[in-house]
Amino acid sequence: KMQTTDSVWADLGLVRPPNGGILLEYQGEYYTNEFDPSVDLSLRQTRTSRPNDGFSTYLKQVNKDAVIKELHILPENVEQAFRPLRERQIVWFTNIMLASEMKTRGDNRQAREYILRAGEIYPSISTASTLIDLAIKETNYVEIIHYASEILERFGCTTGEDASHAYRSRAISYKELQDYAKAEKDFLAFLKLAQDSGDEEAIRDAYDCLVYLACDNLNDSEKVAQYTLARLNLGVDDPVYEIELRRNLGLAYFKKKDYAAAIDSLLIARKTAKQLDTQQLAVIDDALMYPAINGSIYIDDLLKIAAENLDSTNSFPFHWYIGQFNFEQQNYAEARKYFSLILNQLMSTKQLANIPVVYSWLTRIAARQQDYREVLAKAQDGLKFNNVYSFLHLQSALAYLVLGKTKAAEKAFATAQNLFQQNGDFGKDAAGDLQAIKEFLLKQGRQDTAAQVDDWLAQLSQTKR
C-alpha cells in the first residue's frame, strides 16, 4: 500500500519531505525512499550490487512508535511485492513531467489532462492544488471549487499554504458565481489561517477580498464598515486605495444614518484626494453632500466645499446643501434661489426622479413665507412628475385648508394619509411644517382651522407604515 498523506508520516514521527516522498506500507512495516529532513544526511548509503530502480534503498520503520534506527536495504521479497507500485509510480511521474512540459508551452488544457491521469494514480493535495491553478488560468470556477473542496474536505487539509490557497480560490469562485454567503465564509476562513500564521500580507489580502465582497455584493453596510475599518487599521501604502477605502467607509456610515461619522471619514479622504487629482476630489466632494444634507450638518468646511463646487458639472447636491442651510437659517429668499437653480438643472438634464423632492422644498419655503397660493401651485406642479408623492398631497391639503377650501383639503389629506401608509415619504420635517401652519392659523385667529391641523397631526402620528 502506498501512503501519500502528511498524516501518515506524522503518525510515524516523520516529516514528509518538501518534494513529497512516497511512503510504502508492507506487512505492518513502513519504507521510504526519502529521508526525514531532520535526519543526518551522512546516514545515506548507496546500493551498488544491482541497479538502483527507485526502490532499492529504503528507510525501515519497525512500528509507529519507533524512532529511526538504521538504514536498511529493501528486502528482495518486498521489492518484488512493490514492483507493480513501482510501475504505477513511473506512469505517475511520466504524467507529471508531461504536464510540466505542457504548462511551459502554455497548453493548459493538455497539462490538465496529464495532471488528472497522475491524480487517478496517486490522489494528492499537490495534484489538486495544481489543478486549481490550471482552472484559474481557464477561469473555470466550477472546477476550482471542485478541487479546492477536495483539498479541504477529501484530504482534510485545513491548515498551511495549500488550505489557504484552496479557501481563497474557492471564495473567489463562489463570488464570481454569485454565491456570496459561501464566498464570505471561505474568505473568513482564509483570513483566520492568515491570522493564525501571522502572515501580515495574507491578512491584508483577506481583508481586501472581504471589503470588495461587502461593497459590491453583500448589501450590508454593517459589514462594509467592519471590514473596511479593519483594513484601514492595518495601514495602507497606496493613497488612491486609501481614498477608496475611506469613501467606502463614509458611504457605509451614511447608510447606517451615522452622518457625523460618514462626514469624518470622507473629510479625511478629501484631504488625501486634494493632494492627488481633481477627479478623486470631485468624487469625494459629491459623496460628502449626501450625509451632510440628510443629517442637516452645517459646518464651515462643508459650506466652503459646497461653494467651491457650484460650477461643477453635477452641481445640484451642492446647491441643495446651501439651499437647505439657508432654509434652516430662515433665509427663505436665498433658499428659494438655490432650489430654483436645482429645479432648472434637473429639468435640463432630465433627472426627473428628484424633481418632486425639489418641488416639496419649494412648497415648504412658500409656506414659511405664508404664500399659500404658491404652496398649492408648486405642489400641483410637483405632482405632475410623481402623483404618488404623499408629501406634496399633504402640502396641497394644507394650502387648501388655509385658503378655505375645506372639501378639497379633506380629499387631499385622505390621499396623502393613504400614500403615507404605503410608502412613508413625508420625511422628518412634516410635523414641523404642520406645526408652523398651525401657529400661522392661530395668529390669524382661525382656531377651528388650526384644530383641524392638530387633528391631522394626531392622525399621521397614528398611521402605521
112 vs 51, residue with greater confidence: 112
Closest by CA to 140, choosing from 169, 161, 181, is 169
> Angle formed by the axes of helices 239-255 and 259-274, to 10°?
160
38 vs 117, residue with greater confidence: 117
Q: Which distant-in-sequence residues (6+ apart) come within 8 Å of 386 by Cβ?
A: 355, 356, 392
Q: Which three cell numbers stand for residue 1?
A: 500500500
**pLDDT at residue number 76:** 55
| Residue 89 binned pLDDT confidence (cut-offs 50, 70, 90) | low
**pLDDT at residue number 116:** 80
- Report the range of poorest mean pLDDT among 222-236, 277-291, 320-334: 277-291
Is the pLDDT at 141 greater than 90? The verdict is yes
206 vs 315, residue with greater confidence: 206
> Angle formed by the axes of helices 125-137 and 141-149, to 10°?
170
**pLDDT at residue number 53:** 35
**pLDDT at residue number 71:** 35
Residue reference for cell 473596511 = 228
Q: Which three cell numbers stand for residue 5?
A: 498523506
| Mean per-residue pLDDT, 392-396 | 91
pTM higher than 0.85: no
Q: How many residues does the chain have?
A: 465
Is the pLDDT at 447 greater than 50? The verdict is yes
**Burial environment of residue 372 by CB neighbours within 10 A (0 to 12, 13 to 18, 19 or more):** buried
- Report the range of poorest mean pLDDT among 11-25, 172-186, 205-219, 330-344: 11-25
Per residue in 166-215, pLDDT (tens digit) is 999 999 999 999 999 999 999 999 999 999 999 999 999 999 999 999 99
**pLDDT at residue number 312:** 80
Is the pLDDT at 34 greater than 60? The verdict is no
**pLDDT at residue number 38:** 39
Specify the domain boundaries for CATH 1.25.40 within the chain: 224-297
**pLDDT at residue number 252:** 94
| Residue 82 binned pLDDT confidence (cut-offs 50, 70, 90) | low
**pLDDT at residue number 66:** 37
3-state DSSP call for residue 34? coil
Is the pLDDT at 39 greater than 50? The verdict is no
| Residue 258 binned pLDDT confidence (cut-offs 50, 70, 90) | very high
| Mean per-residue pLDDT, 340-351 | 90
| Residue 236 binned pLDDT confidence (cut-offs 50, 70, 90) | very high
**pLDDT at residue number 177:** 96
Among the CATH numbers 1.25.40, 2.60.120, 1.10.3470, 2.60.40, which is that of 224-297?
A: 1.25.40
The percentage of the chain sitting over the pLDDT mark of 90, rounded to a whole number, equals 43
Question: Ranked by mean pLDDT, which of 78-92, 124-138, 263-277 comes out on top?
Answer: 263-277
| Residue 456 binned pLDDT confidence (cut-offs 50, 70, 90) | confident
**pLDDT at residue number 24:** 59
The percentage of the chain sitting over the pLDDT mark of 70, rounded to a whole number, equals 77
Residue reference for cell 521489492 = 79
Is the pLDDT at 313 greater than 70? The verdict is yes
From CA 170, how far away is CA 141, in angstroms rounded? Answer: 8
**pLDDT at residue number 21:** 52
Closest by CA to 168, choosing from 145, 146, 143, 150, is 145
Residue reference for cell 383641524 = 452
Per residue in 45-67, pLDDT (tens digit) is 333 333 333 333 334 333 333 33
